[in-house]
Structure 1
Amino acid sequence: MDDGIRVRVASVGEAEAMADIHTRARSAYYLAGGAVEEVSDDAGVCTEREAAWGRAIASAGLTALCVEVRGGGMVGVLAMGAPKDADVDASVYRQLFQIHVHPDFWGRGVGGALHEAFAGRLVAGGFTGGVLEAWEGNPRARGFYARRGWREDGDRRPGPRDVDYVRMRLRVG
């Protein structure tokens, strides 16, 4: 992109940087939502996040993307793949498992670029919809998705501090 934001497929060896962005973003939004005990930069938790990003990068069934900004390195990450819930048709939908943007880059178009890449991959793959879960205590994320056409579908599951995760769907094409 000509604005200094470049979305690309993540490569082997970038899992540690991706886990760091994930941890920083997660900590910021849980703190903002009042869930202090959910914030953890414990070495074991960080090691597991790094391993999970490594699996996502290596998996044939998942796509891991990252964003680089001119002069700033990697500042955002995304993971997507087949939906995990049995009631979501995998021939129609792909799940957006995660978008994380380093908090220093919130509001600078990084998340939007990742979302655009997700939607583009849906269309290119012949899918007509996306599905995701957002923590109800994170109004920033829920607003971000709502502005891009995502709507809650009524499905919920328990989350931290008795605040649910809500499932949202997007129609494309």
Structure 2
Amino acid sequence: MNDPVVTRYAMLADLAQIVDLHTRARLAYYQAGGLAADAVQTPTVREDQRTGWTEAIESPHKRVLCATVGHEIVGVAAMGPPLESAPDTSRAGQLYQIHVVPGRWGNGIGGVLHGTFLDYLADAGLSLGLIEVWERNTRALAFYQRYGWRPDGGSRPGPDHSRYLFLRLALTGDHRTVQ
């Protein structure tokens, strides 16, 4: 019998599992994009991940949700207010990241976590979603495109002469319907 994917708020007790999951997912998509493991994961990056996830879990303005199957954390998502101010960000929320255990990609876990972001936008009365995606992470770009995300023309520098692309998701009255 297959256990369903269930989401719950992350706790500090989940931190080691979240950092491990984040590391595994990050290594998989950066290596698929042509980067070597030692260019992606260092002790400094690992410590930065611990610090960032701790701050996000403890923040009253951010949500961190774990996707679980049985007792195993198989995905994580972080969201909250936009990281940078822009003219229309007063009506926006930002999906900082979604990560799924690489061996479980394609099983709907990312979709469940994406749904938690849509719920966050609806709960906050927001009509615009923002995210940055590494241009070489073609799997993630295709995932977000399926959900209606579109490039807004902006980007910032990424590793190895690449870019992080800025995507937007405009919502209609029903938070599950995108324009």
Q: TM-score range by the shorter chain?
A: over 0.9
Identify the residue that residue 161 of structure 1 maps to in structure 2.
Answer: 160
Contact 1:128 1:171 in 2 (8 A): yes
Q: Distance in 1 between matches of 2:77 and 2:87?
A: 20
Identify the residue that residue 26 of structure 1 maps to in structure 2.
Answer: 26
Where does 1:2-21 land on structure 2 (aligned, <5 Å)? 4-21=4-21
1:20 Cα deviation from its structure 2 partner: 0.7
Contact 1:150 1:168 in 2 (8 A): yes
Identify the residue that residue 53 of structure 2 maps to in structure 1.
Answer: 53
Q: Distance in 1 between matches of 2:72 and 2:159?
A: 32
The letter for the 1-side match of 2:119 is G
Deviation string for 1:108-161 (max 9, x for gaps)?
Answer: 111000001101111121000100000001100000000000000000111111
Q: TM-score if structure 1 supplies the norm length?
A: 0.92
User: Displaced runs of 4+ in structure 1, greater than 2 A?
Assistant: 42-45, 88-91
Q: Distance in 1 between matches of 2:161 and 2:114?
A: 28
1:50 Cα deviation from its structure 2 partner: 1.6
Percent of matched pairs sharing the same residue: 42
What secondary structure is seen at the aligned counterpart in 2 of 1:91? Answer: helix
Q: TM-score if structure 2 supplies the norm length?
A: 0.89
Does residue 92 of the first structure (1) align with residue 91 of the second (2)? yes
What secondary structure is seen at the aligned counterpart in 2 of 1:137? Answer: coil
Contact 1:20 1:46 in 2 (8 A): no
Q: Distance in 2 between matches of 1:88 and 1:23?
A: 34
CA-based RMSD: 1.5
Q: Distance in 2 between matches of 1:86 and 1:126?
A: 18
Q: Distance in 2 between matches of 1:134 and 1:31?
A: 15
Aligned length: 170
Q: Which runs of 5+ in 1 are unaligned?
A: none
